[in-house]
Amino acid sequence: MYLTDEQQAILDGRQGELLQKTMETLVRYGEVYEADRMVELDGPVQLVCSFAMAPLRPFFKILGEFKAAGIKTKLPFTADPRPMDFENMGFHGNTVEETVYKKLYSAQPEYEELLKSVGLKDQDAFSCACYFDEIGNTPSYGDKLAWAESSAVVYANSVLGARTNRNSGVIEIFSGILGLTPNFGFMTDEGRKADWVIELKTTKLPRPQILGSAIGFKVMEKVPYIKGLDQYLGSVIDQNAKDFLKDMGAATASNGAVGLYHVENLTPEAKEHGDALIREGAQTYVIDDAELERVKNSYPILWKYEHAIPYKAYIGCPHCSYDQLIQWAEKFEEALVRHNKKRISVDTVICSAPAVIRRFKETPYYEKLTKIGVEIGGVCPLMRVSGMDGVPVITNSNKLRTYSKSRYLDDDELVDVIVTGGGM
């Protein structure tokens, strides 16, 4: 790998052993993927390791060394969600859940102090959707980044047209410290070309979670070029399109390993380059209504008792946008009227970014939701269900379904079950 004189000097240890180790790690990482050089970052990193679990202790030690040396990231960074949001949520007397949380994340306060010392943006900088306007880590078209959070990576690459590989956790913070990342994969023009053409032939706009799941299952880590979705979303990425693509992309990344997709006539690179993004010999996958139904019916039910009454519901994995919070408030209001109910019957948490929640609190919708029993917090749902394997959890998130024993339901199904509390 070619290194500039300044980069080579760091690798040679002329700026100290700590930065030498950091550079050596990035160089070895780049060499594995045959990177030709380092490129400078245009924006801050998004840290995937936001939670203080015991297996991360070696990482705490590294951060402590950076702190002791007074070394920070080149730009203030953001991080994935916290495992708990004490400002907005509680355990409500559930001593088992509280005990599990405190055991798993006992070092969280200490860890967050370390993050602040090495460049965490602010107290609100915890969200898997760091690209929300309210958070301020929104890259521009063509920006070179080093992110690791899978749903953020696929959004940045696809919807915003920035460039980041789906890096391993810790690699991204090393890149942030040096302001550099190896040049390979999605950082290059060649690495951003599509290996699959997805022909969408549905009779209506599909659920983003199921469409993303179907694509992820089929293409795995390859790049899909989606044709036919623009007939429903249009050719401008408005807020509705952003929310759809966010949730679809998260499903492609978790049900497969997609780090970049193109949508014909909609996403930035597809609008600029069109079919020139499709590799010669690309495979084709046709998705119609029947195929989406097949994919949804293929999900295994991992509950101990298939027809159990749901105990908990989580919405917002990845985090809900401001517009989605309003939409959920309206959905619950309509469902309560439909079922002649005053409050929900299943404990429900809607997850969003701290800054988005603060904005939402200024609307009448916030009080309406909390009054009927819905909690709105800045947590990561996956971290909350980590110790709840025997508990029947329902969700509208394909990502949460994939990484836990939660059961997936479409939005309308989910709302009705939450309101009525009926068994499955």
Digit-coded pLDDT (tens) for 181-205: 999 999 999 999 999 999 999 999 9
pLDDT band at 219 (very low <50, low <70, confident <90, very high): very high
**Alpha-carbon gap, residue 89 to 87, rounded angstroms:** 6
How, if at all, do strands 194-200 and 180-182 pair?
unpaired
- How long is the chain? 424
- The closest alpha carbon to 38, from 24, 27, 22, belongs to 27
pLDDT for residue 54: 79
Query: 379-392: per-residue pLDDT in tens?
Result: 999 988 876 777 89
**Alpha-carbon gap, residue 2 to 61, rounded angstroms:** 30
pLDDT higher than threshold 80 for residue 101: no
Phi, psi of 181 (to 5 degrees): -150, 145
Structure tokens of 405? 């024993």
- Look up residue 210 and give its amino acid: I
Average pLDDT, the chain: 95
pLDDT for residue 87: 81
Q: Could you please report the per-residue DSSP string of 14-60?
A: TT-HHHHHHHHHHHHHHHHTT--BEEE-SS--EES--S--GGGHHHH
**Alpha-carbon gap, residue 146 to 159, rounded angstroms:** 16
Mean pLDDT across the stretch 285-313? 95
Mean pLDDT across the stretch 255-276? 98
Contacts with 54 (C-beta within 8 Å, 6 or more apart), sequence order: 104, 107
Cβ atoms within 10 A of the Cβ of 296, count? 17
3-state secondary structure of 299: coil
The torsion defined by the Cα of 65, 68, 70 and 72, in degrees rounded to 10, comes to: 40
pLDDT for residue 93: 67
DSSP 206: P
Distances (CA, A) of 235 to 13, 209, 229: 51, 21, 10
**Alpha-carbon gap, residue 92 to 57, rounded angstroms:** 30
**Alpha-carbon gap, residue 80 to 181, rounded angstroms:** 20
**Alpha-carbon gap, residue 185 to 194, rounded angstroms:** 12
**Quick one: CA dihedral 323, 403, 379, 377, positive or negative?**
positive
**348 beta partners:** 313, 374
| Lowest-confidence pick of 122-126, 149-153, 199-203, 389-393 | 389-393
Instruction: Give the orientation angle of helix 239-255 with respect to helix 208-219, to 10 degrees.
Output: 40
pLDDT for residue 161: 98
Tell if the pTM clears 0.85, that is, is over it.
yes
